[in-house]
Structure 1
Amino acid sequence: MPQYDFLQTYTLKNGATLKNRVAMAPMTTKSSYYNGALTNDEIRYYSMRSGGVGMLITGAFSVHPLGKGFEGGPAVWNDAYLCQLQRLANVIKINDTKAIIQLFHAGRKSTTAILRGEQPVSASAVAAEWPPNSEEPRALSENEIDEIIQDFAKATRRAIQAGFDGVEIHGANTYLIQQFFSPHSNRRTDSWGGRRRERMRFAKEILKAVKTVISEYAKTDFILGYRLSPEELETPGIRLEDSLDFVEEIQNDIDYLHLSIGSYNRTSLNNKNDTVPLVSHFKKVLNPSVPLITVGTIKSPADAQAAMALGADFIALGRSLINEPKWVQKVETNSEKSIRYQLNPVDMDDLAIPAGMQDYLLTTYKDAIDFTTNTVKQEFGQQMAPMEGYKKQ
């Protein structure tokens, strides 16, 4: 086996041991049923990409009906989904891959049409700047905030019952948890808004509630991760120093931190004088017992090594596992030359990419995928990627 750092084992502070330091990044499939139930196509898609990575993080599952952010999104807000969730966990956990389910609430990043007539909700009644003409959400009441916190806890309990090895709380990509932390979307004057510390409260209360459920229902090595977007482009908005402070506040409550960035070597988008990669910034403030996962344009083993050299403990593969489900296995068997670095649209069925996912890959995210048919190659570098919830710069 090649001597790559990312192929080494890693034991988290809770005792869970991962067979390597490669994760499958959470990606939207848009292929669930109208009510959030999983389809066989999704089960097959995840099954093909498991077995090699140390952990597989699913796409985002809604914890509440008003948290649905897109058509075809999966749900975990009802016990009726337990059977399908168990099927999903089982197909992921082959060959010692850890099954991690990502939990989220879209907040204002939804529409009345997606919510079947219900108005989107958020921290405050402030519309998103992107996409253009986003709907103004309804500000959540304090009782509703408490209920959503418990929705995350209940979803965690279902994940444990279904046999998952952990949950990842989605605090990134401009969804509801980030909306509470952002001074752009959170203009509240009660205890859930105001200064930076108050804007952290929603995320911290979710982590507290989730940890309580884990201690009651799960084994001690059940994994709790958190995903974070380091910066926002809006003014006012989240800046790097806000996120670094936030991470210092939550690090004792999580087993890993997962950055959401379009390129692993990105530097600050707001402070052009700061040439230190974001990964290095976060590694500096994190306790050594909390590993850092980075993602973004990691295509080759050399890219993965470079990302780890910046300070990452794990690397996450997203688009690379769409193209090449057996990326890890090919590296392990000295078959790197056979890794598929481009995706031919005619191969998508053979690669178990669900029809709903094929549609948005070929349309909304066409420039972000290395299709053999693309005439323009999109590299994110020092800009936001479309999956991060922002306009192109």
Structure 2
Amino acid sequence: MNQFDTSITFPNGVTLKNRLIMSPMTTLQSYYEGTVTQDEIDYYTRRVKGLGAIITGAANVEPLGKGWQGELSVAEDDKIAQLSKLAHSIQSQGSKAILQIFHAGRMTFPATLSGEQPVSASAVPAEHRDPNTHDAVPRSMTNAEVYATIDAFGDATRRAIQAGFDGVELHGANTYLLQQFFSPHSNRRTDEFGGSIDKRYTFIEKTLESVFAAVDHYADRPFIVGYRFSPEEFTNPGITFEDTGYLVDKLVQTKLDYLHVSLDNYKRVSIADNYKNQTILKYLHRMIDNKKPLIGVGGVRTREDVQNVLGSADLVAVGQQKLVDPDWPLKLANNADDAMINDEFKNAIEYTPLNAPLYDFLVERYGSIPNI
């Protein structure tokens, strides 16, 4: 089993000082047009000690990719200066700074897009939204728009490099655009980007090519590229665990430095009858077979959780615990387990210093959905 306090070196040669990662989380702390705020910089600076790396919350790669207000953006060059301050603040304690880049696709609303209709692989609304409302129905992207978005991921990577980040993580999880193209629920296209599972993977493949081309052209140092994915969907049709096996097999053949599964709980078991003997994390670890480092995540709060995740992964990501317990990695390293905050998150946010946008967001989320 991997030990959390040992270093790890990615395929490109970048070494993390330990195997603890701060998960990418929504914080709503950017300005309305996506520029990094000082509050945001302070938030990450407060939480960086004792970590091998921080993965930021999602940053949109183009205006139509914006998912919510207060979201980071890496869609224009004028964002680089403040992004650079964010990267340097994370690196100030010897941790690596990884910018998560994404496009929300259909998982947004016209109100968020200044009245524009959301776009997706196809004009299919997300299943949990009311199909009778205009807000729910995205517009199918034209072929030209698909290629422009592919280019936008490359441009976002170039900006991340110029801002001084150590890497980017492509957000292919949580039903955002990269996942929408891979999913048979959201992708009903009949062109080169839809139909068979091979064609539904094409958008991911070409986006990765765009990102790697930017790295090859602009990076003057080894630069991390990771990919986050959700293992299955609950819709019918939807991404099955067998589909994820195909995806993982494709991704491990690329130049990616790591894979990052998105799970609300590392103990979660698949909904598929053929994959119920072990946790999803264990199945994925076996599928990947040490071809790429795997980041495990989901409900990590204790030393036991860390050890359990590292039994089936190479790195462990910690999210909600870091929100309310900024010094948690230091407590773990110093065997101060009794000092770790173990209160319910909805209670812990009441005595954790948080600015108004983040606090209000957490109050709403913990009042309705138990995971962020």
Shorter-chain TM-score tier: over 0.9
Q: Residue by residue, what CA displacement relative to the aligned partner does 1:9-68 show, whole Å, maximum 9, x if unpaired? A: 111111111111110000001121111111111111011011311010000000000000
Structure 1 match to 2:32:
34
Give the RMSD, CA atoms, in angstroms.
1.6
Question: Is the contact made by 2:80 and 2:163 (CA closer than 8 Å) also made in structure 1?
Answer: yes
Residues 55-70 of structure 1 mapped to structure 2, 5 A cutoff? 55-70=53-68
Identity, % of aligned positions: 43
Structure 1 match to 2:146:
145
Letter in 1 for 2:336: S
Match of 2:91 among 93, 110, 133: 93
Question: Is the contact made by 2:130 and 2:136 (CA closer than 8 Å) also made in structure 1?
Answer: no
**How far off is 1:357 after superposition?**
1.3
Structure 1 match to 2:278:
276
Secondary structure in 2 aligned to 1:346? Answer: coil
Contiguous gaps of at least 5 residues in structure 2? none
Match of 1:18 among 16, 19, 25: 16
Match of 2:46 among 36, 41, 48: 48
Structure 2 match to 1:344:
348
Residues 119-268 of structure 1 mapped to structure 2, 5 A cutoff? 119-133=117-131, 135-253=136-254, 254-268=256-270
Structure 1 match to 2:305:
303
Question: Is the contact made by 1:18 and 1:98 (CA closer than 8 Å) also made in structure 2?
Answer: yes
**How far off is 1:109 after superposition?**
0.3
Give me the whole-angstrom Cα distance separating, in 1, the residues matched to 2:175 and 2:366.
18
The alignment status of 1:291 with 2:289, answered yes or no, reads: no
Give me the whole-angstrom Cα distance separating, in 1, the residues matched to 2:330 and 2:336.
8
Residues 273 and 35 (structure 1), Cα distance of their counterparts in 2 relative to 1, 3 Å cut: closer
Q: Residue by residue, what CA displacement relative to the aligned partner does 1:311-358 show, whole Å, maximum 9, x if unpaired? A: 111110000100111111111122221112225343232xxx332111
Give me the whole-angstrom Cα distance separating, in 2, the residues matched to 1:345 and 1:326.
15
Residues 63-82 of structure 1 mapped to structure 2, 5 A cutoff? 63-82=61-80
Give me the whole-angstrom Cα distance separating, in 1, the residues matched to 2:366 and 2:274.
27
Secondary structure in 1 aligned to 2:169? Answer: strand
TM-score relative to the length of structure 2: 0.95
TM-score relative to the length of structure 1: 0.90
**How far off is 1:367 after superposition?**
5.7
Question: Is the contact made by 1:267 and 1:278 (CA closer than 8 Å) also made in structure 2?
Answer: yes
Decide which moves more: 340-349 or 9-18: 340-349
**How far off is 1:366 after superposition?**
3.4
Give me the whole-angstrom Cα distance separating, in 1, the residues matched to 2:176 and 2:283.
23
Question: Is the contact made by 1:165 and 1:223 (CA closer than 8 Å) also made in structure 2?
Answer: yes
Letter in 2 for 1:346: E
**How far off is 1:81 after superposition?**
0.6
Give me the whole-angstrom Cα distance separating, in 2, the residues matched to 1:221 and 1:93.
15
Letter in 2 for 1:224: V
Letter in 2 for 1:240: F
**How far off is 1:74 after superposition?**
1.1
**How far off is 1:287 after superposition?**
4.6
Give me the whole-angstrom Cα distance separating, in 2, the residues matched to 1:280 and 1:61.
30
The alignment status of 1:361 with 2:362, answered yes or no, reads: yes
**How far off is 1:218 after superposition?**
1.2
Letter in 1 for 2:269: T
Secondary structure in 1 aligned to 2:110? Answer: coil
Residues 51 and 363 (structure 1), Cα distance of their counterparts in 2 relative to 1, 3 Å cut: same
Question: Is the contact made by 1:15 and 1:220 (CA closer than 8 Å) also made in structure 2?
Answer: no
Contiguous gaps of at least 5 residues in structure 1? 369-377, 379-384, 388-393
Decide which moves more: 104-113 or 356-365: 356-365
Secondary structure in 2 aligned to 1:156? Answer: helix
Decide which moves more: 327-336 or 118-127: 327-336
Count of residues in Structure 1 that have an aligned counterpart in Structure 2 = 365
Give me the whole-angstrom Cα distance separating, in 1, the residues matched to 2:227 and 2:143.
24
Give me the whole-angstrom Cα distance separating, in 2, the residues matched to 1:4 and 1:275.
23
**How far off is 1:171 after superposition?**
0.2
**How far off is 1:273 after superposition?**
6.1
Give me the whole-angstrom Cα distance separating, in 2, the residues matched to 1:258 and 1:50.
19
Give me the whole-angstrom Cα distance separating, in 1, the residues matched to 2:5 and 2:130.
43
Residues 316 and 367 (structure 1), Cα distance of their counterparts in 2 relative to 1, 3 Å cut: farther
Question: Is the contact made by 2:324 and 2:349 (CA closer than 8 Å) also made in structure 1?
Answer: no
Question: Is the contact made by 1:123 and 1:185 (CA closer than 8 Å) also made in structure 2?
Answer: yes
**How far off is 1:220 after superposition?**
4.8
Give me the whole-angstrom Cα distance separating, in 1, the residues matched to 2:95 and 2:216.
22
Residues 340 and 17 (structure 1), Cα distance of their counterparts in 2 relative to 1, 3 Å cut: same
Letter in 2 for 1:348: T
Residues 103 and 273 (structure 1), Cα distance of their counterparts in 2 relative to 1, 3 Å cut: closer
